[in-house]
Chains A and B, each alone.
Chain A
Amino acid sequence: MTREMHISEPDLRVLAEDLVRGGTRLIGPARPPGKDGAVVYREVKGLDEIVLVGDPPARSLKEFFLPPTEVLFTYRQKQGDVELAPAPHVFPPQVVLGARPCDAAAVSVVDKVMDWDYHDELWFGRRQATTIVSVACSGGDASCFCTAVGLAPDVAKGSDVLLVPVEGGFHAEILTEKGEVFVAAHATRFAAGGRSEAAMAYRAAARGKAEANLRADPAKIRAFLESSFEHPIWEGIALRCHGCGACAFVCPTCHCFDIVDEAESVATGARRRNWDTCQAAKFTLHGSGHNPRKGQDCRIRQRLMHKFAIYPGRFQEILCTGCGRCVRICPGGMDLLEMLDRIGREPAAPGEAGRGAP
């Protein structure tokens, strides 16, 4: 049940100060301290550092739930025996203030796979410790296409509280139980609020802006993917791709990881999990030397298949939020909007119907 309230900008500033003073880790989109670098989500000390409205930060929120590297356990060899010690994982409370709605939605999309064939304790430990307060986006840049994957610049999915910029402050929608707890803890900062015409106008304008970049039918894209495993389209699409995987590393929904054992000394070491990417040839390289995804065409196809056919088939969710990071980062000029637009206009190959379906 959504509840509507209002918070003024000065009150939001004090709220942020209260959080930091109370020992909560405050995360928001901000420039690196003292530098001109790109806006990224990072720990901040107050509202003034946070860029509440703007293009998506250079990297997504994923690193706060699935860090680029983390120790799963450590080991010690002792006279022919091995002792294992679980890593001391603690999940201190954290609040993301100013999440872009697409990034909040991404976390909720990835929840599905993290609670599928096993329950990922590290992911959900951090999820439970985190309250996500999003700010409705103003519509993004030319690489944004959230509306084409069923989301929107003001989508509520994944957020506990959604703030919509209005004159002097924010219209606040309290979306979850966690959001209610958060608002109750800062009750003096929020004021009663009802339906806001200004907020609705802001949201409509933002949606229109994102819609103009790409109109696509996810069902049609999925139908093409499931019937076009051997389609000649892949080779042409993949030529300029370097297979560098930067797309996967900045992607809010790519969640594949590698598990490695690393020795710290002769007798001790750690098992870690690290981000990985299906765009690297090594991702599927067998010990025999055989690689079932030999060329970059197979790997690009896999990227699109997983996001727009396999994951939707299994979890009823598209594994893409239209944040556009892969487009902005790609040094080879791979453009997911172009690919989806093209695929959406290709007829599904009748001879292969059903191939690749889960």
Chain B
Amino acid sequence: MQELRELAKKLLLEGTVKVVIGYAEGRRGVLPIFAVTPGEAGRLIFDPRCVQNLATYLSPRREQVVALGRPAVVVKGCDARAVAGMIRESQRSRDDLVLIGVRCGGVLADPVSAVEVSEATVAARCPGCDARVPKHVDHLVGPLPPAPPGTSALDARIAELEALSPGERFAFWRSELEKCVRCNACREICPMCFCVRCVADKAQPQWIESSPHARGNFAWHMTRALHQAGRCAACGECERACPAGIPLNLLNRKIARVVAERFGYSASGDPESPAPIGTYRPEDGEEFIL
């Protein structure tokens, strides 16, 4: 903790950055803060309650954050993947950012009620994580906590869904997606949803109906999921933000797996590795093209 605070103070005092985006204690759990003075940097913390992916605040759409000046941002391994994605897709320049990596032992599924990571409290995406030490960062702080215990409940659930017939699977997703109220929280919080104008907001022509009925909800969620193929940082923020409790992490992880199988690619913290969505290779499979 002290290491993080001292580093943030130093970066601010020497003028390397104008703001440190990090975590601090709030009235009700951990909050993102934008520390612009060394005093505020003294509030920074990192622990398993720090679930938020702060890379989202680096989006050029966040004009008021951009206006604060050159940022340093505290990133977990999954968050660093999102930063790499934003650099890869030309949203930010690597030179404009200072990345403070934090070693991570998994975060909590419910950071307001729980404090310690255990098999019962850990976020479903964390067990099996291969990015507990963020790569391609400028500074790395904190000791490496033990690996998150257990295996991912997401993998078990995906296996269950894969075992269903297409009809049963469709029924499952229909019952989940009918809960959607189309608030767009999943989109607004996603660091990879940086489009100035989202396809879902286009009205002429209207590709995706804005009504929260089955047709509109399926159109939106299929579009969102496919636009994330090979891009999703697997930070789980969309599911955390969803007021309807839709298990979006299942879709994200399944699609990431398909991309890994088909294209040998997984979103990583390396901003230089070309992603399938913007790359053509002669050996890419094309047997699905009629």
Q: How far is the CB of A210 from chain B (nearest CB, A)?
A: 15
| B231-251 contacts to A (CB < 8 Å) | 237, 240-243, 245
Among A69, A245, A327, A333, contact of B212 (Cβ-Cβ < 8 Å): A69
Contact between A297 and B26, CB atoms less than 8 A apart: no
Contact between B28 and A260, CB atoms less than 8 A apart: no
Contact between A238 and B64, CB atoms less than 8 A apart: yes
| B270 is an interface residue with CB less than 8 A from chain A | no
A275 to B189, CA, bound (A): 19
Contact between A333 and B26, CB atoms less than 8 A apart: yes
| B34 is an interface residue with CB less than 8 A from chain A | yes
Contact between A246 and B210, CB atoms less than 8 A apart: no
Q: How far is the CB of A162 from chain B (nearest CB, A)?
A: 28
Among B185, B201, B243, contact of A58 (Cβ-Cβ < 8 Å): B243
Contact between B181 and A142, CB atoms less than 8 A apart: no
| B63 is an interface residue with CB less than 8 A from chain A | yes
What are 8 A-B contacts with C-beta separation under 8 Å? A142-B28, A240-B32, A246-B241, A295-B64, A333-B29, A333-B52, A335-B31, A337-B27
| B277 is an interface residue with CB less than 8 A from chain A | no
| B136 is an interface residue with CB less than 8 A from chain A | no
| A-side contacts of B27, CB under 8 Å | 142, 335, 337-338
Most chain B C-beta atoms within 10 Å of own C-beta, residue among A246, A250, A327: A246
Contact between B181 and A239, CB atoms less than 8 A apart: no
For residue B54, which residue of chain A has the nearest CB? A240
A246 to B28, CA, bound (A): 18
Whether A240 touches B241, Cβ cut-off 8 Å, given contacts A142-B28, A331-B52, A335-B27, is: no
| A119 is an interface residue with CB less than 8 A from chain B | no
| A194-237 contacts to B (CB < 8 Å) | 235
For residue A59, which residue of chain B has the nearest CB? B243
| B209 is an interface residue with CB less than 8 A from chain A | yes
For residue B183, which residue of chain A has the nearest CB? A249
Among A239, A274, A327, contact of B210 (Cβ-Cβ < 8 Å): A274
| A272 is an interface residue with CB less than 8 A from chain B | yes
| A-side contacts of B63, CB under 8 Å | 295
Contact between A262 and B209, CB atoms less than 8 A apart: yes
For residue A296, which residue of chain B has the nearest CB? B64
| A314 is an interface residue with CB less than 8 A from chain B | no
For residue A264, which residue of chain B has the nearest CB? B215
Q: How large is the interface on B (under 10, 10 to 19, 20 to 34, 35 or more residues)?
A: 35 or more
Contact between B183 and A69, CB atoms less than 8 A apart: no
For residue A239, which residue of chain B has the nearest CB? B34
| A74 is an interface residue with CB less than 8 A from chain B | no
| A-side contacts of B242, CB under 8 Å | 246
A246 to B246, CA, bound (A): 13
Residues of A in contact with B (beta carbons under 8 Å apart): 37-38, 58-59, 68-69, 142-143, 235, 238-240, 242-246, 248-250, 258, 260, 262, 272, 274-275, 277, 280, 282, 295-297, 327, 329, 331-333, 335, 337-338
| B-side contacts of A242, CB under 8 Å | 56, 185, 188-189, 241
Contact between B31 and A243, CB atoms less than 8 A apart: no
Contact between A38 and B237, CB atoms less than 8 A apart: no
Whether A243 touches B181, Cβ cut-off 8 Å, given contacts A143-B28, A331-B237, is: no
| B211 is an interface residue with CB less than 8 A from chain A | yes
Contact between A244 and B32, CB atoms less than 8 A apart: no
A258 to B115, CA, bound (A): 41
| A-side contacts of B213, CB under 8 Å | 69, 272
| A-side contacts of B93, CB under 8 Å | none
The 3 closest A-B pairs by CB, nearest first: A244-B185, A333-B31, A244-B188
Among B29, B33, B183, B187, contact of A248 (Cβ-Cβ < 8 Å): B183
A282 to B202, CA, bound (A): 11
Whether A68 touches B64, Cβ cut-off 8 Å, given contacts A260-B210, A331-B237, A332-B32, is: no
| B173-215 contacts to A (CB < 8 Å) | 181-185, 187-189, 201, 206, 209-213
Among B31, B183, B211, contact of A277 (Cβ-Cβ < 8 Å): B183
A250 to B32, CA, bound (A): 22
Whether A68 touches B28, Cβ cut-off 8 Å, given contacts A244-B241, A331-B52, is: no
Whether A327 touches B28, Cβ cut-off 8 Å, given contacts A260-B211, A274-B211, A274-B212, is: yes
| B29-68 contacts to A (CB < 8 Å) | 29-34, 52, 56-57, 63-65
Among A238, A245, A333, contact of B183 (Cβ-Cβ < 8 Å): A245
Q: How far is the CB of A356 from chain B (nearest CB, A)?
A: 21
| A-side contacts of B28, CB under 8 Å | 142-143, 327, 335
| A-side contacts of B57, CB under 8 Å | 239-240
Contact between B245 and A37, CB atoms less than 8 A apart: yes
Contact between B188 and A245, CB atoms less than 8 A apart: yes
Contact between A68 and B212, CB atoms less than 8 A apart: yes
Q: A245-B188, A331-B241 are in contact. List 11 more A-B contacts (CB 8 A).
A: A69-B212, A143-B28, A240-B33, A242-B189, A244-B187, A244-B241, A246-B243, A274-B210, A274-B211, A274-B212, A275-B183
For residue A143, which residue of chain B has the nearest CB? B28
For residue A274, which residue of chain B has the nearest CB? B211
Contact between A260 and B52, CB atoms less than 8 A apart: no
A206 to B58, CA, bound (A): 43
Most chain A C-beta atoms within 10 Å of own C-beta, residue among B29, B32, B201: B32
| A-side contacts of B184, CB under 8 Å | 244-245, 280
